[in-house]
Homo-oligomer: A and B are copies of this chain.
Amino acid sequence: MSAVPEDHNQQLRLLEAILFASADPVGEEILQERFGAAVKVRDLLLELQLLYENRGVNLVAMGGRWAFRTAPDLGEYLRSETEVAAKLSRAAVETLAIIAYHQPVTRAEIESIRGVATSKGTLDILMETGWIKPGRRRETPGRPLTWVTTPHFLDHFGLETLRDLPGVEDLRAAGLLDSRPAVSNLPGLAEKATAEADG
């Protein structure tokens, strides 16, 4: 642990940085320990609090622990429909990946690729994310609905076009897919395999 700067202003800056970066409110005694007995942490805290008094962010003390919080009077501007980030299930992520790679793809095809039934909820959840939408109906008996990804999907994942999705060979080369043991490892075959893989 590096020592604490001697300069008063530097101490103030360090305190500011510590409180900013901390995930939880920091207890005053912990700060006092961090800065050493020679530094009056309480004075530093009060000075910093004054500095932020009329700002968009305030330094507040809660039961002896200190933290930055957005100013309460801004609440009306900051509040909005609060959506809690929900984690997608593994099935949903896999279904999304399969739609991305195999689109347009019907639900029956997704199930046949995944080898398990796809619950109705999975596609609903994915549709709520705005990443997939129904595509054209397949011109086969029963005219099943197909699923495709949306422009928002490309946007979210930072892809310009669907063609930029890495192919299976790219995934393998990147280490995202274990390579099958192949005859290609035999000398003399390797060059050929490469030529094919690299096209």
Interface, chain A (partner B; CB < 8 A): 1-5, 12-18, 20-21, 54-57, 68, 70-71, 74, 76-81, 107-108, 118-125, 127, 133-137, 141-145, 150, 158-161, 163-167, 170, 172-176, 179, 184-185, 190-191, 193-199
Question: Contacting A1 at CB < 8 Å: which of B1, B80, B190?
Answer: B80
| Assembly CA distance A16 to B131 (angstroms) | 29
Pairwise interchain contact B123-A173, C-beta atoms closer than 8 A: yes
| Assembly CA distance A133 to B123 (angstroms) | 26
Pairwise interchain contact A4-B184, C-beta atoms closer than 8 A: no
Pairwise interchain contact B120-A174, C-beta atoms closer than 8 A: yes
Question: Contacting A2 at CB < 8 Å: which of B80, B121, B159?
Answer: B80
Pairwise interchain contact A57-B193, C-beta atoms closer than 8 A: no
Minimum C-beta distance from A140 to chain B (A): 9
> Contacts of A17 on B, CB cut-off 8 Å?
56-57, 70-71, 74, 77-78
| Assembly CA distance A118 to B173 (angstroms) | 8
> Contacts of A145 on B, CB cut-off 8 Å?
164, 166-167, 170
Minimum C-beta distance from A169 to chain B (A): 8
> Contacts of A70 on B, CB cut-off 8 Å?
17, 20-21
Question: Contacting A175 at CB < 8 Å: which of B123, B166, B191?
Answer: B123
Pairwise interchain contact B77-A164, C-beta atoms closer than 8 A: no
Please name 18 pairs of A and B residues whose Cβ atoms are closer than 8 Å in the assembled complex, sorted by A: A3-B77, A4-B77, A13-B74, A18-B81, A20-B70, A21-B78, A118-B173, A120-B175, A122-B175, A123-B174, A124-B175, A125-B175, A136-B163, A141-B199, A145-B166, A150-B158, A194-B194, A194-B195
> Contacts of A158 on B, CB cut-off 8 Å?
133, 150
> Contacts of A12 on B, CB cut-off 8 Å?
56
> Contacts of A193 on B, CB cut-off 8 Å?
195, 198-199
Pairwise interchain contact B195-A191, C-beta atoms closer than 8 A: yes
